[in-house]
Amino acid sequence: MGQYAFGFNGKKKVKEKMKKILAIISFLIISTVANAESKLQTIKKNGELRVGTTGDWDPMSMKDPATNKYKGFDIDVMKELAKDMGVKVKFVPAEWKTIVAGITADRYDISTSVTKTPKRAEVAGFTSTYYKYGTVPLVLKKNLKKFPTWKSLNNKKVTIATTLGTSQEEKAKEFFPKSKLKSVEAPARDFQEVLAGRADGNITSSTEANKLVIKYPQLAIVPDGEKNPAFLAMMVPKNDKTWNNYVSKWIKDKKASGFFKSLLAKYDLKSL
């Protein structure tokens, strides 16, 4: 009996020890996850903010091939953010088809603005928004009679060009389920397919469309109104709430201070 009692106590002790060890292990796991360093700390520690940007989006992010330097609305935004954080800014070249992967693979801490889409939101975090735009179709001016409406472009005889990995590529499938979709890869552009007669139309922001019809008078905006109000925001890692809150609060403060308003005027942009 005594022996049995001893054996029982021994087992109980082992069990208790195991319990303690398990508790310590789970405490360690939970505290590592909770204390996982936010980008906010890493950026400050490294003294550098890494910004992913494509450099092909007028007037948001444009790379000057002569100097290899970036300029544009979003470039000014990122320079200001880095300045306010007291760190240097480093622009990391990105592509539309891999811009989201660059965030998940930690190639950069933040991206310049992209359209908020449900697909992107599955894997990346979006900061608060700071620009709103509508979408319009572009066609050749000489074809305006044939394509006076959005509906006229939804036809199995029509080819719509899009740029791989963009929100327009996703949307074109919804707007033109009957049409043929032709996706080109940047630096090739969808509207160039229209200019070359390889596609009948493409869709883009009204901001870009207004610029394009001035640069290429052969192009025209389909006069059937804007669709799809869309919002631009920066992308950050999905689970880094500290970093997202920091940037979102910064955007809010900068809106209040008039920074975004003067930047919109500088780049001849209307909305917000």
List % helix, strand, coil for the chain (3-state, nearest 5). 45, 25, 30
According to DSSP, the β-strands at 124-126 and 201-205 are: unpaired
57 binds ligand KH2 (CB under 6 A): yes
According to DSSP, the β-strands at 131-140 and 201-205 are: antiparallel
Q: Give the single-character DSSP code of 105.
A: T
Sequence-separated contacts (24+) of 33-37 with Cβ below 8 Å: none
In one letter, which amino acid is 157? K
163 binds ligand KH2 (CB under 6 A): yes
Q: How far is the CB of 56 from ligand KH2 (least distance, A)?
A: 5
Q: How far is the CB of 232 from ligand KH2 (least distance, A)?
A: 7
Task: Classify burial at 192, counting beta carbons within 10 Å of its beta carbon; exposed 0-12, middle 13-18, buried 19 or more.
Answer: middle
Q: Which two tokens stand for residue 185?
A: 């890869």
- The terminus-to-terminus CA distance of the chain in angstroms comes to 82
Where does this chain touch ligand KH2 (CB under 6 A) — which range of 37-45, 166-174, 219-227, 240-248?
166-174
Residue 11: other Cβ atoms inside 10 A: 10
> Is 163 or 244 the residue whose CB approaches ligand KH2 more closely?
163
- Give the residue, chosen from 152, 166, 183, 207, that forms a contact with ligand KH2 under the rule CB under 6 A: 166
> Is 69 or 83 the residue whose CB approaches ligand KH2 more closely?
69
Cα-Cα-Cα-Cα dihedral sign, residues 229, 55, 196, 181: negative
- Give the residue, chosen from 53, 167, 202, 244, that forms a contact with ligand KH2 under the rule CB under 6 A: 167
195 binds ligand KH2 (CB under 6 A): no
Please tell me the count of residues contacting ligand KH2 according to CB under 6 A. 12
Q: Which of residues 205-224 bind ligand KH2 (CB under 6 A)?
A: 208
91 binds ligand KH2 (CB under 6 A): no
Where does this chain touch ligand KH2 (CB under 6 A) — which range of 42-50, 62-70, 134-142, 164-172?
164-172
Nearest partner of 156 among 136, 137, 181, judged by Cα: 181
**Cross-strand pairs, 92:** 52
56 binds ligand KH2 (CB under 6 A): yes
Q: Which of residues 94-133 bind ligand KH2 (CB under 6 A)?
A: 96, 114-115
Q: Cβ(182)–Cβ(198) under 8 Å?
A: yes
Q: How far is the CB of 44 from ligand KH2 (least distance, A)?
A: 28
Interface characters, 4-43, with ligand KH2 (x: CB under 6 A): ----------------------------------------
Q: How far is the CB of 96 from ligand KH2 (least distance, A)?
A: 5
Q: Cβ(219)–Cβ(140) under 8 Å?
A: yes
183 binds ligand KH2 (CB under 6 A): no
Q: Which residues bind ligand KH2 (CB under 6 A)?
A: 56-57, 96, 114-115, 163, 166-168, 186, 204, 208
